[in-house]
Structure 1
């Protein structure tokens, strides 16, 4: 998926998909909110507001209150691409979100997902 396509995707489209993926695997919306909040600094209420505003992923990342410094510890493959090799900061953060939700859905303990 190219950079511009990721930039233009709506958070309001992706957010429910993250929740559905996690819930199908026995996790909760609250856990999804927790991992997204950990990475971006948004509260659960702010996540819902961002979804309601229908902002795109570029704006979602750029307006994030605080990208967690431990985001650099998120490594591995997502969609066949190494996260740590992604040069574009916004795309890398979006792929980190994908990876965190994947780890949640795979049953990883929250402490490991949050790199504590």
Structure 2
């Protein structure tokens, strides 16, 4: 495993770590999706609502410990910190061009 992130994923992780909601949302197209343990949030407004209460609003921090790339999917293993969930987690980013079309979160 490596910790080198493709540009679109690096931008999303950096935005989350900077607690920059606008930059995080800009990583997704208008129809982007966040899947947080089966709860799906479609589009910028829904993603913002989820993020405001459970991600950036909870002052998330992501310390990347590994990266695996499989075609358009980038699986990031990270140690999550902040005021919400804390512990290891896996984030699968589906990338199309310079955008993340889907971010799926699992343990």
Q: What is the TM-score normalised by the length of structure 1?
A: 0.32
Larger proportion of helix: 1
Q: What is the TM-score normalised by the length of structure 2?
A: 0.33
Q: Which structure is larger by alpha-carbon Rg, 1 or 2?
A: 1
The structure showing larger relative contact order (alpha-carbon pairs under 8 Å, at least 6 residues apart) is 1
Larger proportion of strand: 2
